[in-house]
Structure formats: structure tokens, C-alpha cells
Chains A and B, each alone.
Chain A
Amino acid sequence: MYRGRYVVGVLISLVQITVLYYIWRAIMSGGQRHAGYDWPQMQTYLLLSFLLTLVLSFGTEERVSASIRDGSVSLELLKPVHYMTLRVTELIAALFVELLSVGLCLALFVSTVLPAVPPETGSRFLLVLSFLLAVALKATIAITTGVLCFWTTNVLGLIACRQALALMLSGAMFPLQMLPDWLHTVAYALPFQSFFNTPTMIYFGRVGTADAAGLVALQGAWLIALAGMTALLLNRGFRRLDSYGG
């Protein structure tokens, strides 16, 4: 039954990407290019967007906060493992299952409906690194959202806010170059573009090796900053924690 639920979860992401797919298809019919992408490239772009949404999906994110919301976090604190270690191991375990399904989806898509464009980058190393960092950043954000539940029980609201911002400002809906200038600047000042924009820019060879290295370094910096902030929040959160025990 868990498998059934997981499949439904994949379908949910699939429906979301379907909207984007058909709108883009209509817009690009007649061989138009947008932000330098032609239709086959755009299809690959959306495929990447779909796959990265699947990794560390909604369910995983919600589970992270569950122990805080129901109070069982106090039991976890008694164990001789740091809270963050616990969460990170949990996320890695979920990641393996999700990577498997992402792999299956990828194979299915590429062999049937969507022929993917191969990466056009100069540096495979940077490409792989940027994807790994993107996933790590997503995991960190998931834990941060979970930790915020020390202050609010409304985890759905928090996740919805983050998802909405990430959807637009990470480039998952459309290449960030299409944003008006001021919003483009805002997007680059926020961590969301490191989730998706960085790996795709490198994938499609939109940045030179030096710029790519800079973007990857930025991902690393955000990872450290967010992890530090989460640790700080966690510390304050534990101080707020009242639990009954006996």
C-alpha cells in the first residue's frame, strides 16, 4: 500500500509538469525560441524540472516535521544521536528509494515520449557536483521547514509558501532569463536559484567553466549558511520545548 501511495505521489508531480508541458508546447509551436531554448531543449528542461521535484518530494518534507508536531521529538533528544544526524540519515534513506523511482521515470520518459538532449557542458564534474549540491540544499531546506514547526503547527502553510517561491524563483517553471530584470536580480539573491537554475545552466552549457564554478561555489555557500541557520533555530527551538514525561 505504501507503494500505491508513492505512485500516486509521482502522478501528482506528473500532473503539475503536464500543465507546464502543454503551455510551453503551445507557446513554442512554429519553431520559436525562448531565452535561447528551442523545443527539444525545453522538453529536456521540463523533464529535469520534473525529476528534481520528485527527489525529496512533499511527503518526505512533511515527515521531517512530524516528530516536532506530535512531541515525540523529546524522545529523540534522549538518544545519543544528534537531531540533525538523525534527520539527515532519514532523508538519505528516503533519497535512495526516490532515486530509484526517478531513474525509472527517466528511463521511461527518454525511451518513449521525450527524447532528452544530452548535456552540453564543458565540465561533467561541475555538472554532477551541482546536481548533488542542489539535492543537498533541498534536504537542508526541508529540515529547516520542519524545525520551524517549533513555532507553528501549520507545516502545510510553510511548505506551500516555500514551494510557491521555489517554483518560480528556482527556474522550475521557466528559465530565469525570462523574468523582468528586477525580479531576475531578486532571484539571484535568493537561495532558490541554486536548487534548479544552477544545474540546468551548466547542463545546457549556458555558462563558461569559470562562471559555472562560481555558481557551484555559491551553492556550497548557501548550503553552509542554511545548515548554520537551521542549527541555530534548532538550538532555540529545543529551549522552547516543553514536554511532559515521567
Chain B
Amino acid sequence: MAAEQRAHALTHFALLLRLQYRAKSAYRADLALEIVSALLRQGTWLAFMLVLLRRTPVVDGWDTWKMVFLYGLATAPLGLNVLLFDGVWKLTELIRKGELDSLLLRPVDPVLHLYTRSVSLHGIGDLAIGILAMSLAAQHVPLRFGLWTLPLLVVCVVSGSVVYASVNLASAALGFWFRELHNVPFLVQQFTDLARFPLALYPPVLTAIFFFPLPFAFVTYLPTVLLTEGGSVWVVLTAPAAAAVIHMLARLGFRLGLRRYESAGN
């Protein structure tokens, strides 16, 4: 029964996403603008690293290309997350306007429904820059696992997109309690910028944040260290584990928030 329901949920998810994409692709200029803006935004940080590190090849034991690899591994799941789960950004608005009812009334998991509430194609730009950065870096950094790197990367990127989505869901769900602070998700989003650089640069308190409550370290920093320096392959498995745990917690937060939800009524 449960398995069947899950299969249904996946079909629904795919269907809802497809509809959104069809609607979105009607606006060609907006689409192009979104992708260009993502390329520019990510390209800026990439250029920053290349310019800066041209003069200082090694920072705290991290050479330029290893940093570029980490940057890529952190940016690709960001893109995938935007492509699959971008509807989360609508949550604060739905709460404020009391329009969440329409999601709750349907016989589909409201979280899945929320995820597909909208899509942003700028994820294509993020994903492209992420893959580009990783493949550029792969030519300069010795990767310890040879061809096995590829499936390991896929695991990390997919788990990473779930981690990003869950963190966004949790921070948007704060809107149930603090209705007017609708820019908190943007603040959390900014932290993803920090997670794209070696955590060794930061003071321990800041590093700790990236294990919990924003567990980006498991999908970006730790896998990069593993893939470039070698070690137990089991480290990669912490990525899906972290994704599962944070997703459960985010859903829990969402459900707790729903109890406080007051509809606009009619």
C-alpha cells in the first residue's frame, strides 16, 4: 500500500513538474534572461576564484583547482534543486495570503505539491556552471576513485539537491510563525554561498552550522575531500543519509507549522 502510494506520488510529482515547465516555456525572453542571470551569478564567483588564486595558488592546503571542484560540486545540486523543488519559495506568500488551502484540499502530499508550485529555469544555468567547474577541475586534480567518481558524484548531487530543498522548506515554514519576515529564506540561501568554499577557512562556530542545521558539509565539503584526498568510500553515504534526515525534519517543521495556519476564509 505504502509502496503503491509512493509510486503514485512520484507520478504526480513528474506530471505537475511537466505542466509547470510547459507553462514556463511559453515566455521565451524571461527564460533566456533567467538562464543568463544564473550563468552570470555563478560565473562571477568562478571568475573571482580564478583571478584571486592566480596569484595565491594554495590556501590552507587547498589549491585552486580543488576549490573549483568544490565550487562545482556545491553549485550543481543548487541547480538541480531549483529545477525540481523551486515552488518552496511560494510558501511564505501562500501563508500570508491564506491561499495554502488549495494545496491542503487535494489528495496529493502537500509538500510535493508545494515543490512543484513553480519552477525556475535558471537552474539550468547553475547546473551547467557546476558541471563545467567540476570537469575543468577534474583535468587538474587527481581523483582517487577513477571512473567510480562519476556515480559517487551523482549520489552527492542528487542528495545535495534534496538537502537544499529541505533547508528551503524548513526556512520557508518559519513563515507560519513569523508571517512578515518573508526574507528569512533569502538569508538561508546566502549561507549556501559560504558552503561553496573550503570550510577550513571559517571559524569553528561557522563550520558547525554546516553540519547542523544546514548540513551542506555532507554533500559538498566532505565528498570533495574524499574524492580528491582519498579515504573510506562510506563517507559518500553520509550524503543521502543527511539528506533523508534533514528532509524528515523539514517535513516535521512544515507539519507543525500547518497547525498554526489560519486560512483567509471566505
Contact = CB atoms under 8 A, between A and B. Distances in A.
A75 interface: no
A179 interface: yes
Contact of A15 (B40, B47, B190): B190
Interface in A1-54: 1-2, 4-5, 8-9, 11-12, 15-16, 18-19, 22-23, 25-27, 32, 34
A23 B55 CA distance: 13
Contacts of B194: 15, 18-19
A81 interface: no
Interface residues of A, number: 39
Interface in A159-215: 160-161, 163-165, 167-168, 173-174, 178-180
B202 A22 contact: yes
A165 B41 CA distance: 8
Interface stretch (B130-138, B175-183, B257-265): B175-183
B37 interface: yes
Interface of A: 1-2, 4-5, 8-9, 11-12, 15-16, 18-19, 22-23, 25-27, 32, 34, 59, 151-154, 156-158, 160-161, 163-165, 167-168, 173-174, 178-180
A46 B47 CA distance: 18
B214 to A, nearest CB: 11
A4 B180 contact: yes
A161 B40 contact: yes
B52 A1 contact: no
Interface in B15-52: 29-30, 33-34, 36-38, 40-41, 43-44, 47-48, 51-52
Contact of A5 (B47, B180, B191): B180
B51 A19 contact: no
Contact of B40 (A32, A151, A160): A160
A173 B30 CA distance: 28
B47 A168 contact: yes
